[in-house]
Amino acid sequence: MELAQRNYQTSAAGLETLFAASAPDVISFAGGYPDRSLFPRQELNQAFSRSFTNDDSELLQYASTAGYLPLRQKLAQRMCHDGISATAQDVLLTQGAQQGIDLTARLLLNVGDGLVVEGPTYVGALAAFDAYQPTYYTVPVEADGMDLQALQKILMTKQVKLIYTIPDFQNPTGTVMSLAKRKALVALANRYDVVILEDGPYRDLRYTGENLPPLRHFDTEGRVIFLGSFSKILAPSLRLGWLTASAELLKPLMALKGGADVESSNLMMQGIDNYLQHNDLDAHIQQIRTCYRQKKELMVKTLREYLPDTCQINDPQGGFFLWLQLPAGFDAEAFMNNKLLPEANVSFVPASVMTPGQGPNNGARLNFTGPSLAQIRSGAKALGLSLRAALAKAQLSN
């Protein structure tokens, strides 16, 4: 599907829907928030205090655009364990994965350039891409990731500069791209000479099943840019993520990073590095996994109990979200705004804001990590009952 360029207001409206649906008195399945009780407050507090105590006066100084070297070394090591061969020289520290999206778009997309996104996709990525006014091509997401036949049709007939994908626990559908599709996607990018932006902030958050290698693992031509983030495994307020790519792409990305904000906060980078020196991040991630797995299971179980038969959910193996598929023609956005929010005080993100242009509206993203177990139980029940009532009414009036 080819679409005209979007303007800034389209994505701004999408983000506003998200924030309105996250008001304090609402049981929000809309946000992409971690569980706040899992933030390692004390450990981070100690790490930042130690950084100040050990201060050699460089802590508060300008440092380097690439980012604090010891932290880049640690991240390179972590990525090596995850199937990405990288050294510190291959890593750029960014203000969250979000900045990696923006820098990549800034490097590769001029007005009208072809950009492939998954449909539906991460609304914040659309907000970043919109600023560069690309021509969007949307590829449907299947249970095992992007529909590669649809992608190939686009690549055969259109000029595409960049493919944006979230292979692991996709935002918003929670799906994982299969091993076969990972290899085939990189092969297609090689064949049609396209860069892939692999956005991987949820990679560490698997609750069941086996990890699959990242796309970057299969990249023999230096065309995959990989993004990681501390937002979902430590805390989003740290605003720290990382990017790795071939030297050919990394060099201009680093120059753009310098132009955007000189460097990431040295204070943040050193504090996080100190945390990693004194704490076991993997043990912390294991704790997060245990908690989120329990939350996901409760949400799936409750929804299966209360949803009408005409609605389906998936049961993702990790990440933050599950996908609610509603009957054809059902308007999820109108249902949320007119019924679910005012009557039950429950929110989700309707499908309509997560595709460029006029996508299908009979779906919704549900977040299970932010709300408490009690909120998941009562919110999922209320959602199921409210949908039953709305669908029964729609049938009566047909």
Q: Which residues form the interface with ligand PLP (CB under 6 A)?
A: 32, 96-98, 122, 124, 166, 171, 199, 201, 229, 231, 236, 241
Q: Using the 8-state DSSP alphabet, how is residue 59 labeled?
A: T
CB-based closest residue to ligand PLP: 96
Q: Shortest approach of ligand PLP to residue 166 CB, angstroms?
A: 5
Nearer CB in complex with ligand PLP: 133/165: 165
Nearest-angstrom CA–CA distance, 112 and 132: 8
Strands (E), 212-327: 224-229, 241-244, 312-313, 321-325
Nearer CB in complex with ligand PLP: 299/387: 299
Nearer CB in complex with ligand PLP: 134/384: 134
Q: Contact 46/278 with Cβ under 8 angstroms? A: yes
Q: Shortest approach of ligand PLP to residue 34 CB, angstroms?
A: 10
Nearer CB in complex with ligand PLP: 236/308: 236
Q: Contact 325/313 with Cβ under 8 angstroms? A: yes
Q: Shortest approach of ligand PLP to residue 339 CB, angstroms?
A: 27
CB atoms within 10 A of CB 312: 14
Contacts of 252 (CB under 8 A, 6+ apart): 107
Q: Shortest approach of ligand PLP to residue 151 CB, angstroms?
A: 19
Nearer CB in complex with ligand PLP: 233/311: 233
Strands (E), the chain: 2-3, 27-28, 91-94, 114-119, 135-142, 145-146, 160-165, 195-199, 224-229, 241-244, 312-313, 321-325, 346-347, 349-350, 363-367
Q: Shortest approach of ligand PLP to residue 349 CB, angstroms?
A: 11
Q: Shortest approach of ligand PLP to residue 324 CB, angstroms?
A: 18
Q: Contact 38/288 with Cβ under 8 angstroms? A: yes
Nearer CB in complex with ligand PLP: 272/344: 272
